[in-house]
C-alpha cells in the first residue's frame, strides 16, 4: 500500500507537473495508477495520452513517472543481446538506478508547495488533489461551442384592416325525413307550415 512510508513526508504538499513524454499512451494497465486507483488525463484517456500533462501531488507524479520510465526502458530494450560471435550474451539489467532516475525526472517539473492540509487518509487526500488539478486544467481548455437555442416562434397575426380570409363553405345538413326537418325548424324558432313537403321545409333552413 502506498499509504505506508509517505506519512508526515515534507513533500506531501509539493505540487508537480507530470508529462507523458513517451511515444505511446500511458494506460492504467502499464502503471498509470496510484495505490490501485487508475488515473486519467483531461483528454479522457484511458490513462494519459502522448504529450499530455497533468498537475499532480508529488507522490502521485513520482509514482507515475517511475512506472512510465520502466515501461519505456522495457520497450527500448533489444529483443536479444548477441555477442560478436553471434552467441547469446548472458542477460543483463535493462537499466541502472541512475538511468531510470534521469528518465523519470524528465517527465516531471516541480511547481509549488501548498499549505499543510487537514489530516486525512493519504490516498484519499492525494486522489482528491488529482481530481482538483484535473478540474482546474479542464477549466482552462477551450470549451466546445454549443448549438444556439432557437427562440420560440411567435404566431403570425394579421395586421389591422387586413381582409379576412374567406370561410370554408359549410356542409349542408342532411335530414333523414320530414319530421327531422320540422324538429330542426322548431329548434331554431323558424315559422313553417307542417303541411309543406320535406324539400320546401329544408329551404327554410338554408
181 in the same domain as 130: no
187 in the same domain as 127: no
182 in the same domain as 126: no
Domain range for residue 195? 173-206
128 in the same domain as 56: yes
Query: Rounded mean pLDDT of 105-111?
Result: 96
Q: Strands of 14-19's sheet, edge to edge?
A: 53-57, 14-19, 108-113
Pairing of strands 37-38, 108-113: unpaired
Residue 86 counted as domain residue: no
What is the model's pLDDT at position 6? 46
- Per-residue confidence at 155, pLDDT binned at 50, 70, 90? low
pLDDT tens figures, 165-204: 666 666 667 777 888 878 888 888 888 787 888 888 778 7
More confident residue, 161 or 60: 60
110 in the same domain as 189: no
**How many structural domains does the chain have?**
2
Asked whether the whole model's pTM tops 0.75, one would answer no
Name the β-bridge partners of 97.
none
Amino acid at each position: 500500500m502506498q499509504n505506508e512510508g509517505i506519512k508526515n513526508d515534507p513533500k506531501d504538499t509539493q505540487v508537480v507537473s507530470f508529462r507523458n513524454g513517451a511515444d505511446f499512451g500511458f494506460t492504467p494497465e502499464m502503471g498509470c495508477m496510484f495505490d490501485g486507483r487508475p488515473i486519467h488525463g483531461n483528454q479522457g484517456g484511458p490513462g494519459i495520452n502522448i504529450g499530455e500533462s497533468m498537475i499532480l501531488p508529488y507522490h502521485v507524479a513520482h509514482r507515475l513517472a517511475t512506472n512510465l520510465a520502466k515501461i519505456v526502458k522495457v520497450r527500448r530494450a533489444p529483443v536479444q543481446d548477441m555477442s560478436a560471435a553471434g552467441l547469446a550474451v548472458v542477460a543483463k539489467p535493462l537499466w541502472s538506478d541512475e538511468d531510470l532516475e534521469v528518465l523519470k525526472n524528465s517527465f516531471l517539473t516541480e511547481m509549488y508547495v501548498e499549505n499543510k492540509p487537514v489530516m486525512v487518509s493519504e490516498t484519499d487526500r492525494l486522489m482528491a488533489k488529482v481530481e482538483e488539478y484535473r478540474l482546474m486544467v479542464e477549466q482552462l481548455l477551450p470549451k466546445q461551442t454549443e448549438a444556439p437555442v432557437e427562440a420560440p416562434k411567435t404566431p403570425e397575426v394579421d395586421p389591422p384592416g387586413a381582409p379576412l380570409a374567406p370561410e370554408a363553405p359549410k356542409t349542408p345538413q342532411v335530414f333523414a325525413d320530414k319530421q327531422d326537418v320540422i324538429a330542426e325548424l322548431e329548434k331554431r324558432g323558424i315559422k313553417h307550415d307542417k303541411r309543406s313537403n320535406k324539400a320546401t321545409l329544408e329551404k327554410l333552413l338554408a
